[in-house]
Structure 1
Amino acid sequence: MTKHYHFIGIKGSGMSALALMLHQMGHKVQGSDVDKYYFTQYGLEEAGIAIFPFDEKNLTEDVELIAGNAFREDNNQEVAYAIKENRPFRRYHEFLGHFMEQFTSFGVAGAHGKTSTTGLLAHVLKHIADTSYLIGDGTGRGSASSDYFVFEADEYERHFAPYHPDYSIITNIDFDHPDYFTSLEDVFSAFDDYAKQVKKALFVYGEDKELRRLTSPADIYYYGFSKEDDFTAVDLVRTTNGSDFKVEHQGKVIGSFHLPAFGKHNILNATAVIANLYVAGFDMADVAKHLGTFGGVKRRFTEKLVGDTIIIDDFAHHPTEIVATLDAARQKYPSKEIVAVFQPHTFTRTIALLDEFASALDEADSVYLAQIYGSAREVDKGEVKIEDLAEKIKKKAETITVDNVSPLLGHKDAVYVFMGAGDIQTYEYAFEQLISRLAQNNR
């Protein structure tokens, strides 16, 4: 049955992906959002999905409402109008929890790495069987005839609470989102509740002590680099072309794999995907074939060449993610200087993890810091400044602004790694423009 959906906040990464998926399944889709451009709207516009300014007139009687989690009665006129008029609406995660019941579902959760892992699982599975998916980078695919559904399960505010997937990967448990979670134990309790809702099998990183504490009625399989794990990545060869490895299960090699990605964390992500698909009954030759063609996901080690300058854009906004991204950069560019350009995301996270951020950034050869990007959910109380982070970094760390990124020019034979979840891309764009202007002037 074809339905007509209206998305309140359609440019959100999850919302835009869900909108695209439903559109591709043959449903009528429209949405509203702020006028500011977001990279997620490109795919919506390409698909011909109408995007309107927020206005209660958008809420006609024929539309089913899906509201983004950031929009409430006190900050959005459409949500306020829906509540006033007793119009039912569901949040993204509430809709998704019901929607996935029609498929064999594969969830991917974790404090870090879930977008990359979801993207890899979706890429492999869609080439083997008809698969719909939702990825946190704003990518979605829908097919009315799909048997399988791959999705990213977000722990923030326990949004994954409505999900009851058949299978799930959990990449790690770490303390993050200090504006919501009170402690690591609080984060663990959320993941433990989610794990108990998995129906068939759960795949978790074996060296994560918090993951080892999880209990679930589903079978639990551990993956990693240890012989103690149920699925073990062995014979690792990391080169500038990617990573080669084998996976052992119950004392036997179940396949040899090449992954055109960098960093040990990506080998772990791939091992989780391999383990899940093996248990789900898929042929490992097919898995290996399509693993080798994975092109990555948006804003996860995305590379570009501006003139002869290599720029990497990455969503890394937690110390664990920064270390992983810098490790990947060193694998691919072992002879180049690694220049980190980092923007902390939220004041609460910066305060909670200040020492950890400093230690992670010391893995780079040179460090530049952009101004802290505050969330709409918080107020800057002046408790932390970017200079506080700069002082804790052992290497000399210099702060930059969007209006002056020229300090970045002082490096030769370097790779620039821009990291953050705020507006770090505006700094990146300013740097690209500066490089282009200098190239033109030198002609």
Structure 2
Amino acid sequence: MWVIRPEVSDEPGTSTFSLVHDRHAYGPFVVPYVGQRFIYAAAGVAVAALLMEMKPSVVARGLAALPPLMRYLTQQADREGRVLIDDRADHPETIRTVLETVRETYPDKKIWCVYQPGSYLRTKAMLSELEQALSLADFVYIADIKGYPKEKSEGLHSRHMVASLRQAHPATYYCENTEDMASLLADRVTSRDCIVTIGANDTAQVIISSLIAPSETSVETT
């Protein structure tokens, strides 16, 4: 049996782990992504490669050289030093994973989450699960549902979601205007907190571009 042993990463934006099999240790292996899901995926690749008798050093170099992923826990810092994290998560379980990872990475920071649902149908079908996942953030702002082409609204509006979630999580608000939302975050969020944009890309793009100075360069940490 192979055992995965997560380790502390020396470099931000990476995950480190070792493998143990028949009392033999392999690693450490480093992947340029943050989160347990990436450790499990990379461990599977590493085990397969080792079973094919590839050298551990070769496996380690290959994993470390993996390309960055767009909108998977992508991290940036704005002009005020606030941490901005963007992820395309739109399923309750992936949203939960993102927020848990952010909480583990920044245990002392408050999480301001801005979520734009991508689909009316999915949002309606998984409303309860979405609310439970989003409640992991300290503050939640929900933008208008983007919706797919020709998709019907199913009688659902983001205001309904806000009203429902607010019963158990009072710090939940409706994001009516994205530009105003960016200004509100700039005024209220300090450098001791982090902003997490989740879901469809429309709202995330506006908020991030408003908070990032034109001269700054974004950095992928996934």
TM superposition score category, shorter chain reference: 0.7 to 0.9
Sequence identity, in percent?
Answer: 26
What's the TM-score once normalised by structure 1's chain length? 0.42
Contact kept in structure 2, 1:339 and 1:365, CA below 8 Å = yes
CA–CA separation in structure 2 for the residues paired with 1:258 and 1:288:
7
- Quote the residue 2:194 is aligned against: 415
**Contact persistence 1:316–1:420 (CA under 8 A):** yes
Q: Is the 8 A contact 1:345 1:421 kept in 2?
A: yes
Q: Max radius of gyration: which structure?
A: 1
Q: 1:310 aligns with which of 71, 75, 83?
A: 83
Residues 354-379 of structure 1 show CA distances to partners (whole Å, capped at 9, x for unaligned) of: 11111111111211111111001412
Superposition deviation, residue 282 in structure 1: 2.6
Alignment correspondent of 1:404: 180
Query: Partner of 1:342 in structure 2?
Result: 115
Corresponding residue to 1:374 among 129, 147, 154: 147
**Using the alignment, how far apart are the partners of 1:423 and 1:235 within structure 2?**
35
Contact 1:246 1:257 in 2 (8 A): yes
TM-fit CA distance, 1:336: 1.7
Where in structure 2 are the equivalents of 1:12-411 lying within 5 Å?
A: 230-234=1-5, 236-237=7-8, 241=12, 242-294=14-66, 296-307=68-79, 308-382=81-155, 384-393=156-165, 394-395=168-169, 396-400=171-175, 401-405=177-181, 406-408=183-185, 409-411=187-189
Q: 1:389 to 1:281 in 2, by over 3 A?
A: farther
Q: CA deviation digits over 1:135-158, x for unaligned, max 9? A: xxxxxxxxxxxxxxxxxxxxxxxx
Q: CA deviation at 1:341?
A: 0.9
1:426 to 1:298, Cα distance in 2 relative to 1, 3 A: closer
CA drift at 1:353: 0.8
Q: Which segments of 5 or more consecutive residues in structure 2 lack a partner in the other structure?
A: 215-222
Higher relative contact order (CA 8 A, sep 6+): 2
The 8 Å contact of residues 314 and 325 in structure 1, kept in 2 or not, is answered as yes
Counterpart Cα distance in 2 of 1:334 and 1:238: 16
Distance 2:35 2:163 in 1: 28
Residues 370-405 of structure 1, C-alpha deviations (whole Å, 9 max, x = no match): 1111001412232x1112222333322111122421
Deviation, structure 1 residue 244? 2.8
Number of residue pairs aligned between Structure 1 and Structure 2:
205
Change (3 A) 1:370 1:248: same
Paired with 1:422 and 1:235, the residues of 2 have a C-alpha distance of: 31
Distance 1:371 1:404, change over 3 A: same
Query: What is the distance in 1 between the residues matched to 2:92 and 2:178?
Result: 23
Change (3 A) 1:363 1:295: farther
Provide the aligned C-alpha RMSD in A.
2.5
Give the letter for the 1:297 counterpart.
L
Runs of 5+ consecutive residues of structure 1 not aligned to the other structure: 1-229, 437-443
Partner of 1:185: none
- How far apart are 1:321 and its partner, in Å? 1.0
Q: Which residue of 1 aligns with 2:204?
A: 425
Aligned to 1:189: none
- Any conservation in 1 of the 2:119–2:145 contact (CA below 8 Å)? yes
CA contact under 8 A between 1:262 and 1:328: conserved in structure 2? yes
Q: Is the 8 A contact 1:347 1:372 kept in 2?
A: yes
User: 1:297, CA displacement in angstroms?
Assistant: 0.8
Cα offset for 1:260?
Answer: 4.0
Q: Does the 8 Å contact 1:263/1:331 carry over to 2?
A: no
TM score, norm. by length of structure 2: 0.80
Taking the aligned partners of 1:239 and 1:378, their CA distance within structure 2 comes to 46
The 1:422/1:283 distance shift into structure 2, 3 A limit, reads same
2:217 match: none
- Equivalent-residue separation in structure 2 for 1:424 and 1:278 (angstroms): 43
1:350 CA displacement: 0.1
Answer yes or no: is the 8 Å Cα contact 1:238–1:331 preserved in 2. no
Question: What secondary structure is seen at the aligned counterpart in 2 of 1:404?
Answer: helix
Cα deviation 1:318-344 (Å, max 9, x = unaligned): 111111212222233232222111111
